[in-house]
Amino acid sequence: MKKQSGFSVVEALLCLAVLAGVIAAGLYVFKSKDNVTKSSPVNDEKVKSLQQKAVDEINQHFSDIENNFQAEIASASATDELCERGEKNWKRTDSHVVRCSFRKTKFYGFNSEFRQTILQLENTLIAKNWKVNDVDSISSYISEYYDKLEYKKPDNTYLISDLPKVLSGYKKDTFSVAISYSEQPAISASESSAAKSGLKYGLKYALEDVQAESPAGPIGSEYFTAEKYVNAEKIFEELNNKFIIALAISAEYFRINR
């Protein structure tokens, strides 16, 4: 019997399924600058242009805030860039196939009264047309924590860095603002070395954690990350102020929905 040439219908369908999987897996594979293949759209020229536009707008937002907020500005700033794939499995389905975001964090020091100054910052954001989340905002945390816990009492044991940080409580278009706060780690000589170490770690964490751009999906879903973080020790050394604010502005500059 003569052997039939070509594929059967089943074999053809299997080949198409495999090919579709290969295309889907490699859809966003680009060459990085060091010529190593990375599953990321970040090296695409169009996406690079969108990223630069977002960076320029973030810098402009910082300038607008700084022109209306009285504080000393640290020379160092942190950046974090993240591109991630959306999850689609039996556990979860994200609305995006891929998204990229960029975050920049700057640091501000002041010696004036904390409550008044931090609320001045919120008023500056509102005046610049940032929309406020009534739950995740400076004013909500001041009224719910700072005022009720009486931070200003002489025997107060609470620290400014104990206040909840603003995760993304102010938004404008695709931009959002996160804010964290800390005191200078000036600790009484009577405290134990363990207490000093623990307190200093808490103050450092308050300024360092906010620098990271949080993924929308689970850890490990990133295509690409590029961090340039600032050690809080450098901020404490440069800004010799009683209070320090870390203010981060993020932008989602590229997204493909599912």
pLDDT at residue 44, rounded to an integer: 77
Q: pLDDT band for position 4 (50/70/90)? A: very low
What tokens were used for 35?
A: 């010529």
The per-residue pLDDT for range 44-90, each reduced to its tens digit, is 788 889 999 999 999 999 999 999 999 999 999 999 998 887 777 78
- Angstrom distance (rounded) from CA 17 to CA 11: 10
Residue 115 lies in a domain: yes
Sequence-distant (6+) residues with CB within 8 A of 180 are 161, 165, 166, 206, 207, 209, 210, 245, 246
Contact 160, 186 (CB under 8 A): no
pLDDT at residue 33, rounded to an integer: 33
248 against 26, higher pLDDT: 248
Instruction: Provide the whole-model pTM.
Output: 0.78
pLDDT at residue 120, rounded to an integer: 95
What is Dmax (Cα atoms) for the chain? 100
Residue 7 lies in a domain: no
Residue 98 exposure: Cα atoms within 13 Å on the Cβ side: 16
Residue 142 lies in a domain: yes
Pairing type for strands 175-183 and 78-85 reads unpaired
Give residue 57's domain range.
Answer: 50-257
| Strand runs labelled E in the chain | 30-31, 37-38, 72-73, 78-85, 96-110, 131-132, 166-172, 175-183, 222-228, 243-257
The per-residue pLDDT for range 83-125, each reduced to its tens digit, is 887 777 788 777 778 888 999 999 999 999 999 999 999 999 9
Residue 44 lies in a domain: no
Number of domains the chain is built from: 1
The per-residue pLDDT for range 165-223, each reduced to its tens digit, is 999 889 999 999 999 999 887 654 445 555 555 566 678 888 888 998 876 655 556 66
- Angstrom distance (rounded) from CA 258 to CA 239: 45
Q: What percent of the chain has pLDDT over 90?
A: 41
Residue 10 lies in a domain: no
Read out DSSP for 184-227? Answer: -----TTS-HHHHHHHHHHHHHHHHGGGSPPPSS-TT-EEEEEE
Helix count (H) and strand count (E) of the chain? 6, 10
Residue 244 lies in a domain: yes
What tokens were used for 237?
A: 């050394």
205 against 155, higher pLDDT: 205
Sequence-distant (6+) residues with CB within 8 A of 137 are 122, 166, 169, 170
Residue 21 lies in a domain: no
Residue 8 lies in a domain: no
Residue from 224, 251, 212, 221 nearest 82 by CA: 224
Pairing type for strands 37-38 and 131-132 reads unpaired
